Chain A
Amino acid sequence: DAGVIQSPRHEVTEMGQEVTLRCKPISGHDYLFWYRQTMMRGLELLIYFNNNVPIDDSGMPEDRFSAKMPNASFSTLKIQPSEPRDSAVYFCASSLMGGETQYFGPGTRLLVL
């Protein structure tokens, strides 16, 4: 398996623009997680899905953030409109079962100017 795939790897955009981050989990994994990592706040869980259904989105900062998982092999995290404080590394991870090993993608490095 190729592991968790994220795209793009790097994104530079201007404040106010829409940003869409993409993730393909490992085939057969039932759980998908979106994280944000910054120096100040560490690795924060934004939202996670079980069998394509959002289970807990309490970590989503505000209404500007939304996440979808239309099928078992694809998820998106959208920020609209983006702000400079959204600059961070965004990770997607998947696991076979809840509480089991999480496999992380390489991350998307987002810079909002």
Chain B
Amino acid sequence: KAGVTQTPRYLIKTRGQQVTLSCSPISGHRSVSWYQQTPGQGLQFLFEYFSETQRNKGNFPGRFSGRQFSNSRSEMNVSTLELGDSALYLCASSWGRGGTEAFFGQGTRLTVV
């Protein structure tokens, strides 16, 4: 069974640009959550999608957005990139909403210069 797949693995962008990250969950999983990991703040929750709807959102500015498609694949978009957006972006998939094991992808390392 394939795991959670995130693409691309690495990205370098310039301040002010926008970026789209992709996450394909484990087959059969319907919930996808996104996290930002930085050395200073650790893992912080961005948002969760289930059945193509955003169900929960963390404390990030509106520049961070996402969506989920009918096949449960999810994308995350960051607009007007800032240097502080440099981080490892991880997505996790789980079978249902809450109370079930969440499995992480390898992450996308975003560097903003």
Q: Answer yes or no: are A and B bound together in one complex.
A: no
